[in-house]
Structure 1
């Protein structure tokens, strides 16, 4: 089954139980054997299915464990095969997302770059009939277009949301809301139908995505092995402390944590891992994780780990 797959993951979708990835924008010359060869670098592949299309094919790769799938998303998204950048994200059946074709849709504009589907949905989920939220992404740059759509089962609640949410702060900007017009509603439908896969914050952060634009730069955290620190934002400063943050990331089981810092009054913190790969996997797996009712935002720390920094794993956190 072809998934409705991109940064637009269904609300409540849990990648921790998923071990399959969706591969989009595949060059027509790519074969299943070549796809297996590329993806088995992230771990043993159980099976691979390629659905051929005239201009660009798509497919699915099933791994034996979710760690391999997460690593594939983190390392292979944007990889060029025959000069064409593939799109890699979690795979899931379309039945996991509610059919909103008969629902009432509103347009949400002036979204800041860090807002993703989960953030947008969390913002509007205070309205009980809110059924879906989508941020529109530019497939070429991997960046947000600055607007999205929110669906409601109840028309009156959609109208109330337009009135109440216009001018409210979401991320670093005030949003504006209105009824979705026929033109932009068709764009949303087209995105749904083509299942464009853009790794956002259902995957890595916008900061990490922007880093992908310059794959040759040594200062690019995505490609610089000296970057081993994860930035963790949107923390509830009144409740999240160092031990609690350590516990959440320790439970991911992605590697050795060497340092945990929290700025409680500012609502963010940092997790330093032993290796660049462990930090990359932590960003992929923890981004959007709900901590005390708030989805956290993970990206690369803005500075590489200084040479000679003490490398000793912290003891396990207290349960």
Structure 2
């Protein structure tokens, strides 16, 4: 271990080592095996979540004296258990925590993945008063969270470090520095970020006390959104407190550190961890039994459940034989222990099975527990029967089309899918008002699928929607989002060819669409709109070299430079427009629009270039606020779907901005 890292919390009285990034299957008996060659070990303890009893991902090794602890730190090194490298460092002593608690903390963001505590400390030790430097680590993956905290004795010293290091390079990236807590006033109650991160390494729920009840929900939400994406916010105004749940633990840590003792409105906030949301019954107890040799699960992957030559010893101190675990030649060779993952076919199963979510075949219900828990922002079921009934109802009432984009492993027990679901009201096929009322709701989001390791079946399916921040059951925000799509009066011309696209992300004020390429007819930029329209319509009407008439399409596209474009159907254009006749007017040319991803905002009314430019500027700002990158600083397109004879409130107009480097996750 590097000297700077080792000495960050060491001292003549420190007898305790911090053990981080512990896999949930690791038992204290296994830790005894790791430290078997060390002298003076008093206690090896794994910390568990108070609410769930599940290991929290860290623990401590206590020794009889500091010399023994130093020897243990040098001897053990960096063991690998269940595929994860255990992080071993000096633990903070009570005196150190109290001392650092009175110090001022600096937030350091955008850290490269390879930056260690030692590297962070080396970058800031040149500034007087630097007392501690800590990179925040993800306990599940063992990787850096991309940010850390540095402590200073005084505000002036911390401010000098912020000014000196902001924008400087640490490792391979430029970092950003700022205040991690209230920076003015002596009454600010300090928070030790490192201790906070370790105290509840999977929690994302922040308690917020002493709220100014005069503040609006949007003002409170705006404050906490500055720390990261919110999953839910619940306010209890009578008690002047609330709970803010973030999508990531790292953002929640930063929110507590950055908001505790900070004024918001007329009050000074009190922030700490809220109650940890209860986890679904995932059979983790059985994981621990398996890992310590108490049983063998025939439903686990063959690579784990079938004994191999030499796999005769196990238990790691438990005294029980476990055919799942290989014999360990020494206490220091733990890299042979495989990490647990959902059954090897679970991901492949979902890719294949979800294709049939809403068709005649349907999903394979044998791979789901009878007591499977399902929830999304507007529905909730706790049985397989209810789960399947909900799918049947959606199929009959809304004719959904399900598009699965990706599947990721997001934990030792879970897989997360990203998807789009297009819907159409089934009764609307017979609706005489369809030309004016034809809602087609679209939802995008994720599904967190949890596997029960005892059976290999899915025991939980939790959906989240991109468009809502409050994912709780029947939240007002979710109901409004559904109603806004179902009750929309907007006319899209029937039976006309339009460019094909798939919505990748549906938000309240915009969509991210993936467009297929198409062939178009285009006029020169700067031509009068009415004149350009007449020329293109004339081409479709037969004013071309062959006198050939082509079908009318929608929308009519204009761009920020004044050019106009008509879409041509693929069956008439042929490959790259080769089947199209030559235009009689030289100002018309055949163009090819490549596949692209675009941000799109829809609005009604009579559209023109001035209004479109204003809508495009608004959309560009929203996209940037949400982390999306426009392909350039000025370009946009206006899509108009309707005839000028359609009343303004029924018209469908859209502004489109091309995006670069869009990522699903």
TM-score normalised per structure 2:
0.23
Is the radius of gyration larger for structure 1 or structure 2?
Answer: 2
TM-score normalised per structure 1:
0.44
Answer 1 or 2: higher relative contact order, Cα 8 Å, separation at least 6.
Answer: 1
